Every structure is written in structure tokens, then in C-alpha cells.
């Protein structure tokens, strides 16, 4: 008996993926892509719409309507993409906001050093141009004006005795002579359903060229002036497993 196998090929960034008809779970390595416009972006049409890659594969029963990724945090880039769910015991989930074009999730509050920041709840409300979006195609991360200012103030207050704060091209930076893990506090983004995304200092700081023997670290968050929009990009996603469960309409991480 001859078994005919249907093969579907997608060309993505610097790689190609092949799925045979009997595939239930596929995994691939993502090499570093030298051109910025070809880097892990968006990612490869893995949106929620019916024409997206993951939706088409699911409709053909090639894979479940779930995918996962882990982006490497070092300068080499890369990571893994899994068509299917990565099961981890400490995975936490938050619901996707329904009827939104992007991967919107309901951000409720921000904490620094275990203290919830005083930010009006309306700053995090969700609409077409408001709210929090998970986007692996964004290199840094963005906070709404009010949230950004409160976050910067909280970090400055926490480290004022240990660092020399400076502004560089409008960005809040710090001159330090010790490990950032010894100086900077842990932060967390708190979402609907009780899920929190824990941010260690390296998840919100970016190292720059040293000055006079001191290391220079800058806040990696930016702000979109006049917009109540939060975009969570690679800065906070790196070295974490993210699961996009479109069947259950939820996003998880660990």
C-alpha cells in the first residue's frame, strides 16, 4: 500500500519549514537574521485571523491552533518556535481580550519592588488604540505615558543611593559600578486572571557603552506620547516560554 503524504512548505525569515500531513507537533530553531527587517517579526503571520499560517495549518488539521516560542536573550538572537503547546508546571495564563486584531491582554497594574504603582486604571483600559499588546516583532517595550512616568519614578527612588542617574538622548540611564541584580528591584506586570510577568533588572534595562570605568544601563521601556498603549516586545519576552493558545483564547508564559 502506498501512503500519499501532503507536504506544506512555508518560507519564513532565513528558514523554511515543512509539515507532512501526519505532523501533529513541529519545532524548529530560529537562526539569527542579519537584516533587521527580516528578524523574528510579528511573527511570520502567526496572527489570529483565518488567513494566518497557524489558522490555515489548524484548519487542515496539521497542527493545533496553538503555538509557542522562546526568544534567546543574547546578542546572537534566535530561539525556538513550537507549533503546539509547551507544557511547563509553572506556566501562568491570562485571557486574550476578545474581538481585537492583535494579541491584546488585560494589564491591570505594575509593581516595582513588590509595591503596586499608583496608576489610574483607565490607563490600561482596552480599545482599538488602547491597552496592552504582546508583540514579538517589537524589539523594546512601550508603556503609556502615565505608566511610564510612574515606573521611572519608582525605579529612581529604589536605586537613588547606589547609582548616578543620567539622561542620554532623552532616555533614563544609570552609571553603576556593581551588578544590576544587586541594585535594581524586581518589577512585575500584573494581568487579568492573576497572572504576573516577572521582570528582573535585565528584562527592563539595556546595557550601553561604559563611561569612565562605570557601566551604563538604560531603561529599555519607551513611551508613545499621547497614547494609552502598552506594547510588550522582545525586551520583556526574551528567555521566557510564551504559549499562544488560540483555541482557549489565552496567552501563557513561564
Tell me which residue of 191, 218, 217, 201 sits closest to 96, measured CA to CA.
Answer: 191
Asked whether residue 42 falls in the same domain as residue 143, the answer is no
**Model confidence pTM above 0.85:** no
Asked whether residue 19 falls in the same domain as residue 94, the answer is no
Asked whether residue 123 falls in the same domain as residue 99, the answer is yes
**Domain boundaries, position 48:** 1-86
pLDDT in tens, 231-251: 999 999 999 999 999 999 999
Asked whether residue 122 falls in the same domain as residue 214, the answer is yes
Q: 247 near 95, Cβ under 8 Å?
A: no
Asked whether residue 99 falls in the same domain as residue 138, the answer is yes
Give the whole-angstrom CA distance, residue 24 versus residue 14: 23
Give the whole-angstrom CA distance, residue 217 versus residue 164: 11
Of 86, 102, 130, which one is at a domain's C-terminal end?
Answer: 86
Question: What DSSP string describes 22-76?
Answer: T-S-EEEEE---SSGGGSS-TTTT-SSSTTSHHHHHHHTTSS-SEEEEEE--STT
Grid cell, residue 248, equals 482557549
Q: What's 130's DSSP letter? A: B
At a CB cut-off of 8 Å and minimum separation 6, what does 35 contact?
none
Mean pLDDT calculated for residue range 145-157 = 96
The residue whose grid cell reads 530561539 is: 79
Tell me the percentage of the chain whose pLDDT exceeds 90: 58
Asked whether residue 5 falls in the same domain as residue 47, the answer is yes
For the cut 50, the answer to whether the pLDDT of residue 29 exceeds it is no
109 forms beta bridges with 190
- Residue scoring higher pLDDT (94 or 85): 94
**pLDDT for the residue 52:** 73
Asked whether residue 109 falls in the same domain as residue 30, the answer is no
Asked whether residue 167 falls in the same domain as residue 78, the answer is no
For the cut 70, the answer to whether the pLDDT of residue 201 exceeds it is yes
Of 52, 86, 120, which one is at a domain's C-terminal end?
Answer: 86
Asked whether residue 45 falls in the same domain as residue 137, the answer is no
**pLDDT for the residue 37:** 36
Q: What's 133's DSSP letter? A: E
Q: 18 near 9, Cβ under 8 Å?
A: yes
**pLDDT for the residue 15:** 36
Of 86, 107, 137, which one is at a domain's C-terminal end?
Answer: 86
Asked whether residue 97 falls in the same domain as residue 217, the answer is yes
pLDDT averaged over the chain? 83
β-pairing, 141-143 vs 221-223, is parallel
Asked whether residue 170 falls in the same domain as residue 246, the answer is yes
pLDDT in tens, 54-91: 777 777 777 788 889 999 887 676 788 888 888 888 99
Tell me which residue of 62, 79, 61 sits closest to 70, measured CA to CA.
Answer: 79
Total domains in the fold of the chain: 2
Q: What is the CATH number of the domain that holds 148?
A: 2.40.70.10
- Residue scoring higher pLDDT (146 or 30): 146
Asked whether residue 105 falls in the same domain as residue 27, the answer is no
Amino acid at each position: 500500500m502506498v501512503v500519499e503524504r501532503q507536504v506544506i512548505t512555508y518560507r519564513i525569515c532565513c528558514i523554511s519549514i515543512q509539515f507532512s500531513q501526519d505532523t501533529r507537533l513541529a519545532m524548529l530553531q530560529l537562526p539569527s537574521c542579519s537584516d533587521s527587517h527580516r528578524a523574528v517579526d510579528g511573527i511570520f503571520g502567526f496572527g489570529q485571523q483565518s488567513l494566518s499560517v497557524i489558522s490555515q495549518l489548524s484548519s487542515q488539521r496539521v497542527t493545533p491552533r496553538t503555538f509557542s516560542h522562546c526568544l534567546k536573550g543574547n546578542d546572537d538572537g534566535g530561539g525556538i518556535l513550537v507549533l503546539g503547546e509547551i507544557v511547563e508546571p509553572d506556566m501562568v495564563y491570562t485571557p486574550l481580550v476578545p474581538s481585537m486584531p492583535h494579541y491584546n491582554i488585560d494589564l491591570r497594574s505594575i509593581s516595582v519592588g513588590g509595591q503596586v504603582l499608583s496608576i489610574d486604571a483607565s490607563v490600561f483600559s482596552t480599545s482599538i488604540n488602547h491597552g496592552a499588546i504582546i508583540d514579538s516583532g517589537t524589539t523594546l517595550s512601550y508603556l503609556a505615558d502615565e505608566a511610564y512616568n510612574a515606573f521611572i519614578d519608582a525605579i529612581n527612588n529604589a536605586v537613588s543611593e547606589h547609582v548616578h542617574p543620567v539622561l542620554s538622548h532623552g532616555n533614563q540611564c544609570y552609571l553603576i559600578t556593581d551588578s544590576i541584580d544587586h541594585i535594581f528591584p524586581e518589577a512585575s506586570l500584573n494581568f487579568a486572571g492573576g497572572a504576573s510577568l516577572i521582570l528582573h533588572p535585565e528584562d527592563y534595562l539595556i546595557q550601553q557603552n561604559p563611561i569612565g570605568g562605570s557601566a551604563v544601563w538604560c531603561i529599555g521601556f519607551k513611551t508613545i506620547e499621547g497614547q494609552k498603549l502598552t506594547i510588550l516586545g522582545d525586551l520583556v519576552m526574551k528567555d521566557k516560554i510564551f504559549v499562544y493558545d488560540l483555541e482557549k483564547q489565552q496567552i501563557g508564559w513561564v
